[in-house]
């Protein structure tokens, strides 16, 4: 038996066995972390999810679950999905701004190339860049 119980077993008020699945992931030093996860997902669900994963991935899974649980407690309606929503909005605005700037760039280069042939290749480059679209869309 583990003389120092993990945060999960302390919270659940039970003995912490040597093969406790929570023990490496929820140390006693951070009781709040398990409390959040338990409140949102429940100990049984968490144990089941972690059990299905290979041991070397459980720490990352516990971290991401802990993060999502914290977000859900702070925002019971939207949770971490609000962050996704905000990021998608930022992407949309950045893409719009990029398209606008590229169009301005092309206009600028075209006007320069008309007045000065040495800017012709810059105008052609910006035109092909606009046709290609922003590089981030090419996945």
Partner 1 sequence: MRKLMGSSSSYNTPCAACKFLRRKCMPDCIFAPYFPPEEPQKFANVHKIFGASNVTKLLSELLPHQREDAVNSMAYEAEARVRDPVYGCVGAISYLQRQVQRLQKELYAINADLLNYACSEIHQTAERATAPSLPLGGSSLVRSVAPPQGGPLPSVDLCSGSNVSNEVGGGGGGGGGGEGGDFYHFTGLPLHVYPLPWNGDSSRNSLITINEGGNGKYVSNGEKGHPI
Q: Report, in Å, the least distance between residue 25 CB and partner 1.
A: 13
Does 95 bind partner 1 (CB under 8 A)? Our answer is yes
Please count the residues of this chain forming the interface with partner 1, following the rule CB under 8 A: 57
Dihedral angle sign, alpha carbons of residues 45, 36, 24, 59: positive
* Backbone φ, ψ for residue 24 (5° rounding): -70, -15
Cβ-Cβ contacts under 8 Å for 17 (sequence gap 6 or more): 1, 2
Q: Find the angle CA(37)-CA(15)-CA(10) to the nearest 5 degrees.
A: 40
Does 131 bind partner 1 (CB under 8 A)? Our answer is no
Q: Which is nearer to partner 1, 3 or 51 (CB)?
A: 51
Does 61 bind partner 1 (CB under 8 A)? Our answer is yes
Q: Out of 35, 49, 110, 124, which residue is the one contacting partner 1 (CB under 8 A)?
A: 49
Does 103 bind partner 1 (CB under 8 A)? Our answer is no
Rounded Cα distance, 79 and 131, in Å:
38
Rounded Cα distance, 138 and 51, in Å:
37
Instruction: Find, among 58, 56, 36, the residue nearest to 47 by Cα.
Output: 58
Contacting partner 1 within 107-126 (CB under 8 A): 108-109, 112, 115-119, 121-122
* Contact residues for partner 1, defined by CB under 8 A: 40-42, 44-45, 49, 52-53, 57, 60-61, 63-65, 67-68, 72, 76-85, 87-92, 94-95, 97-98, 101-102, 104-105, 108-109, 112, 115-119, 121-122, 134-139
């Amino acid at each position: 038996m583990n003389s120092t119980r993990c945060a999960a077993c302390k919270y659940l008020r039970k003995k912490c066995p040597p093969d406790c699945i929570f023990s490496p992931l929820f140390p006693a030093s951070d009781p709040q972390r398990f409390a959040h996860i338990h409140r949102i997902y429940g100990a049984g669900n968490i144990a089941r999810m972690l059990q299905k994963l290979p041991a070397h991935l459980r720490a990352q899974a516990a971290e991401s679950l802990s993060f999502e649980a914290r977000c859900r407690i702070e925002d019971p309606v939207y949770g971490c999905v609000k962050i996704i929503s905000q990021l998608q909005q930022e992407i949309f605005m950045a893409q719009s701004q990029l398209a606008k700037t590229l169009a301005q760039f092309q206009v600028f280069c075209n006007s320069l190339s008309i007045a000065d042939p040495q800017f012709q290749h810059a105008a052609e480059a910006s035109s092909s860049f606009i046709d290609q679209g922003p590089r981030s869309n090419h996945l």
